[in-house]
A and B are shown apart, each in its own frame.
Chain A
Amino acid sequence: MPKYNKPSADLVVDLINESNPSLPFPIETGKVLFTGLATRTPGEGEYQDTQIKVNAKNGTEYVGNKLLQYRRIDIGKLFRGTSIEIHRYSPANTSTSPYRLHQLLGDINAKYGLALTTDEVADLSFPAATDNYYPGIRTSKVNMVVASTSMAWKGTVEVRWVQAPQELQNLITQPELTGRLYPGGNDFSGAHPYVLDLEAYAIDFTETNAAGLNATGTIGSGIAAQVNAQQTLVDLLAQVTGKAYNMVSGNAGQPYGLFGCTYQKLALPNVLVPEANSRFYNSVVVLTYNHASNWGAGRLFMHHNV
Chain B
Amino acid sequence: MSFQVASKDDLVALVNAKNSTTFTVADFDYSNPRVVAGSWQEELTDKNTAVRLLASEASAYQGNVVVLYDRLSLNALANISGWRVAADEPATTHDLIDAISIYTGIRFAPEDIEDVAITLDENGAGTAVISASPNSLGWIGNVNLPVVKGGALLDEQVTQPMLQGLNYPSASDADTYAEIYTYGYDFTTYTDQLIDLVEGTELVADDLTMVRDMLAAVDISSGKTLWNTDPESTEWSLAGAQIVKNGLNSASLPTNPNYKYVLGLQLRADLTIPKGTLYLHYNDPFDPNDF
Contacts and interface: CB of A to CB of B under 8 A. Distances in A.
A80 B221 CA distance: 10
A81 B168 CA distance: 14
Contact of A63 (B154, B159, B166, B175): B154
A71 interface: yes
Contact of B152 (A47, A63, A77): A63
A83 interface: yes
B38 interface: no
Given A22-B159, A23-B158, A63 B273 contact: no
Contact of A83 (B102, B150, B167, B222): B222
B278 to A, nearest CB: 12
B232 interface: no
B166 A70 contact: yes
B154 A2 contact: no
A61 B102 contact: no
B86 A20 contact: no
Contacts of A80: 174-177
A261 interface: no
A61 B151 contact: yes
A24 interface: yes
A167 interface: no
Interface in B193-251: 220-223
A112 interface: yes
Contact of B154 (A1, A64, A71): A64
A304 B72 CA distance: 110
B288 interface: no
Which of A23, A46, A80, A110 is the most central at the interface, judged by chain B CB atoms within 10 Å of its CB?
A80
B258 interface: yes
A172 B176 CA distance: 41
User: Interface range on chain B: under 10, 10 to 19, 20 to 34, or 35 or more?
Assistant: 35 or more
B166 A11 contact: yes
A19 interface: yes
A106 to B, nearest CB: 13
A3 interface: yes
B276 to A, nearest CB: 7
A139 to B, nearest CB: 11
Interface stretch (A52-60, A89-97, A182-190, A262-270): A52-60
Interface in A122-180: 152
A1 B276 contact: yes
B163 A68 contact: yes
Contacts of A54: 154, 158
B151 A63 contact: yes
A252 to B, nearest CB: 49
B135 to A, nearest CB: 31
Contacts of B223: 81
B3 interface: no
Given A46-B162, A58-B82, A67-B161, A2 B254 contact: yes
A172 to B, nearest CB: 15
Contacts of A59: 84, 86, 148
Which of B149, B164, B258 is the most central at the interface, judged by chain A CB atoms within 10 Å of its CB?
B164
Interface string B54-82: 00000000000000000000000000001
B181 interface: yes
B115 to A, nearest CB: 23
Contact of B166 (A2, A79, A85): A2
B256 interface: yes
B157 A74 contact: no
Interface in B124-180: 148-155, 157-169, 173-177, 179-180
B183 interface: yes
A62 B159 contact: no
B180 A82 contact: yes
B184 A61 contact: no
A100 interface: no
A110 B281 CA distance: 14
B23 interface: no
Given A3-B254, A61-B86, A82-B221, A77 B181 contact: no
B90 interface: no
A38 B284 CA distance: 46
A191 to B, nearest CB: 35
A276 B160 CA distance: 85
B274 interface: yes
Given A1-B254, A16-B163, A68 B158 contact: yes
16 contacts: A24-B152, A46-B162, A62-B150, A63-B86, A63-B154, A66-B158, A67-B161, A80-B174, A80-B175, A81-B181, A81-B221, A81-B222, A82-B176, A82-B221, A85-B220, A110-B258
Leading 5 A-B pairs by shortest Cβ distance: A61-B150, A81-B176, A70-B163, A1-B254, A83-B221
Given A56-B154, A62-B153, 10 more contacts: A16-B158, A20-B159, A20-B160, A24-B152, A24-B157, A63-B102, A63-B150, A68-B162, A84-B184, A111-B184
